[in-house]
Structure 1
Amino acid sequence: MSANSGDGGLQLEITLVKAGRMKIRYPTVLLADDGTRVSVRAPWAGEGVRDFGFVRFEPGDVFTEHYWRDRWYAVKEVRAQDGTLKGWYCDITRPAVLSGPELLVEDLDLDLWVSGDGGTVLRLDEDEFSASGLPERDPEAASAARSALDELEALARAEGLTALL
């Protein structure tokens, strides 16, 4: 791991790649690593406000992110600066790979949003996934991605995503 962050925790850098290119890289504070799941916390890493229509990510938001080495998704709890739970943004990804102070995550386009009250569950970016070419290039990965999205949606509707965490 890298040096301590200002709040005393170890820092871990998340590198998110998409279609072979780096999409974003940002520092986080490592909360836990049990050998299978890595949990980190970070402020909103985007620039300015990103309004999706169903949620706004904005400066001051705090993301508690959970990545698995053996699952095809990442679950990100999103809270406003005042601590109010906005919801969970789930990226469908290949299993995460930890290498020293870097956690490498490959985004596979599919996403799921679950509102803080659990009342809204939205499948996102299925058109991007189809257009990505992954189903043709790597049918096994595409199948795993679709299964992961189905699994997360079913869990969100039945028990809520906190059952994972």
Structure 2
Amino acid sequence: MSANSADRLQQLDVALVKAGRTKIRYTGELLADDGTRVTVRAPWAGSGVRDFGFVRFEPGDVFTEYYWRDRWYAVKEVRSATGTLKGWYCDITRPAVRSGQELLVEDLDLDLWRSADGTDVRRLDEDEFAESGIAETDPAAAAAALAALDELETLARDGDFRTLLA
């Protein structure tokens, strides 16, 4: 195998879809795939700075992202360019699907933020989730999404995600 082939095998394209459309696509470094959980490291893939008021994502930030094939969420550890932990941004998603060098993740609108020191835990985008109509079109998925958000909030308030991510 050539060096270029080996390098290519370490890359994974992450496609985040929402309501049937690709929201964002980026390439990350595949760190691990144990058959259940896929771990990817990638730089901030957004354009410019995204200031949420409680955290800023900006060029140079590094995300270590954990996706599960059997869970309804993804957990993203966010660090600044200097390596300082900012916190964890969690997306409520359908279980991830990997096909070759692509990881497909369907965003279900709900999110959770936990600051690095654990003093700020907040549920996000519950209004978008309600407006999406998923409770009517796919009640089982809506129930799974809400249960996943509750689970993550409990984990975030009871400690941190190190046990989940170990």
TM-score normalised to structure 1 length: 0.95
Aligned partner of 1:26 in structure 2 is 26
Alpha-carbon distance between aligned partners in 2 of 1:151 and 1:77, rounded to the nearest angstrom: 17
Alpha-carbon distance between aligned partners in 2 of 1:155 and 1:81, rounded to the nearest angstrom: 26
Alpha-carbon distance between aligned partners in 2 of 1:139 and 1:116, rounded to the nearest angstrom: 33
Q: What is the letter of the counterpart of residue 16 of structure 1?
A: L
Instruction: Indicate yes or no: 2:45 matched with 1:48.
Output: no
Pick closer, same or farther for the CA change 1:21–1:158 going to 2, 3 Å: same
How far is the alpha carbon of 1:3 from its aligned partner?
4.2
Aligned partner of 1:98 in structure 2 is 98
Alpha-carbon distance between aligned partners in 1 of 2:154 and 2:66, rounded to the nearest angstrom: 18
**CA RMSD between the two structures:** 1.3
Aligned partner of 2:82 in structure 1 is 82
Aligned 8 A contact 2:118 2:159 in 1: no
Aligned partner of 1:129 in structure 2 is 129
In the TM superposition, what whole-angstrom CA distance separates every residue of 1:121-148 from its partner, at most 9, and x where no partner exists?
0000000000001011000000000000
Bigger proportion of residues as helix? 2
Pick closer, same or farther for the CA change 1:112–1:130 going to 2, 3 Å: same
Instruction: Indicate yes or no: 2:147 matched with 1:147.
Output: yes
In the TM superposition, what whole-angstrom CA distance separates every residue of 1:75-126 from its partner, at most 9, and x where no partner exists?
0000000000000000000000000100000000000000011111000000
Alpha-carbon distance between aligned partners in 2 of 1:71 and 1:140, rounded to the nearest angstrom: 14
- Percentage of identical aligned residues: 73
Aligned partner of 1:112 in structure 2 is 112
Q: What is the letter of the counterpart of residue 18 of structure 2?
A: K
Q: What is the letter of the counterpart of residue 73 of structure 1?
A: Y
How far is the alpha carbon of 1:10 from its aligned partner?
0.3
Alpha-carbon distance between aligned partners in 2 of 1:11 and 1:74, rounded to the nearest angstrom: 18
Instruction: Indicate yes or no: 2:70 matched with 1:70.
Output: yes
Q: Which runs of 5+ in 2 are unaligned?
A: none
Aligned length: 162
Q: What is the letter of the counterpart of residue 120 of structure 2?
A: T
